[in-house]
Structure 1
C-alpha cells in the first residue's frame, strides 16, 4: 500500500463550514443536524472560533424523551440551552499547510472526530476522521 501522508490538510478539508453563535439555542443546532450532513458545528463569537459543538455533544445535552410520547415541558426546555453551555471550548485546531499525518495524529491523541482549520487565526475549513479515511482509500 502506497499512501501519501504528505498530502496537505487544505487538499482534503471541507471548506463549506457551518457556524453558529455562542448564544444560539440548541433548537438552531437541531435544525442544522436534522437537515444537513454535518456532525460538527463551529461556534463563533465576533468571527472568532470559540468552540465546537458535535452532534454527540448536542444529543448528550438533550433529554432522552425529546420527540416521544413521554416528552414533558421540562424535556423540551433542554432545547433552549445555549451553544456555549454544551460546546467544547478551545478546540484543537490545525493549519491548512499541515499534513494529513499530523491531522490524524491530533485526532487520535485527543480522541476527537474533527479539527477546525485555521489559517492565521481565520477559520477556513474543517477536517474530520472521515475526510482522512477517504484520502486513504482514494
Structure 2
C-alpha cells in the first residue's frame, strides 16, 4: 500500500494521556474510561516513557489477581516495560514495520533526549489510507480469512480463553456462519450489563450494577461471570462489510463507530475479518 506522503509528523498524537508508575490499577482504569482510550503511556518525573498499559493488560491482571486486593495493585506491577519506539524523524513506513514486527497496537514517538513526543496508533495509520493511498485496494486482498469465532451459547470463560490464548482483540459470535455479535476485551473491563438484568431489573438496580464497577473485584467475585454466555455481553447486530468493497469503506466504518475490526461477509456469510492490523501490515509491506 503506497502512500503519497510518508512523513510521520502528520499523524503524531501530541496530547498523549499519561499516568505515573505509582498510580493504582483503579486509577488507570478510570483514566481509560474517562478519556475513552485503549492505552496509556507511563512516564517518569522527567517526562520519559517507562511503560505502556492497555485495557487488555488490565483485563489480564484482574483475571490473575487471586486473593490480592485490587486496590493494592500499582501500574508499575503490570505495565509493559519492553517499549517499542520510533524517532520523530522516522517515516510512517518505519512505524508500520515496527508495529507489524512486534505485534503492537501503538508505538511511542521520542523527541530529543528520549522525552515523550507523542503516540502513533493503528487508527492513525488506518486514517492515513483515506487521504494518502496511491490506489484503491479491495478488502478481500488484505483481510484475515482465518476467523476465531464463538457461538451465542458459549460460556464467557471459553470466550475469554479464546481471546487470551489466540492473542486476539475480538471474537466474532456467529450462528450458521452469519455474524450476530462481537466481543472484545473492552466488554470485560468492566463486563457489560448482562441482558437478563437489563430486561428484568428496575432502573435503580441497573444503575447500582453499573456504578459498582470493579472497585472490590477479585477472582471469587468475578467467577460469577463465568456462568454467563457470550450473548450476555456481546455487541449484537455487528457492523459488517462486503469482501468486494474498498478498504477505505472499512476504515470509515471503523473510525465512525470507534471499532478496530469488522467481520467480512459474502452473501451475508462470514468469510473473514478486516482489522486495523491488516491495514498496518499492508502499509509495512508496501
What do you get for the CA RMSD once the two structures are aligned? 2.0
Q: Deviations over 1:53-90 (max 9, x none)?
A: 11221343188577xxx432x32111221111101111
| Selected match of 1:60 from 179, 190, 193 | 190
The 3-state SS of whatever aligns with 1:61 is: coil
Could you say what secondary structure the match of 2:219 adopts?
Answer: coil
Verify: 1:123 aligned to 2:270, yes or no: yes
> Counterpart of 1:97?
244
Matched, 1:10 2:137: no
Structure 2: distance between partners of 1:134 and 1:31: 26
Contact persistence 1:96–1:118 (CA under 8 A): yes
User: Post-superposition shift, 1:34?
Assistant: 2.0
Q: Which of the two has higher C-alpha Rg?
A: 2
Q: How does 1:28-67 map to 2 (within 5 A)?
A: 28-61=158-191, 64=214
For the 8 Å contact 1:26–1:58, the answer to whether it is kept is no
Aligned length: 134
Give the corresponding residue for 2:219.
71
In the superposition, the TM-score normalised over structure 2's length comes to: 0.44
Unaligned residue ranges in structure 1 (runs of 5+): none
Shift of 1:25: 0.7
Tell me the TM-score normalized by structure 1: 0.86
Partners in 2 of 1:25 and 1:81 — Cα distance? 6
SS at match of 1:78: helix
Structure 1, 17-26 or 128-137: larger mean CA deviation: 128-137
Structure 1 residue 29: Cα displacement: 0.9
**Residue 112, structure 1, aligned to residue 259, structure 2:** yes
Comparing 57-66 and 38-47, the one that deviates more = 57-66
Which of structures 1 and 2 has the larger relative contact order (alpha carbons within 8 angstroms, sep 6+)? 1
Separation in structure 2 between the aligned mates of residue 134 and residue 4 of structure 1, nearest angstrom: 16
- Match in the other structure for 2:152: 22
Q: Is the Cα–Cα contact under 8 Å of residues 43 and 52 in structure 1 kept in the other structure?
A: yes
Q: Is the 8 A contact 1:5 1:99 kept in 2?
A: no
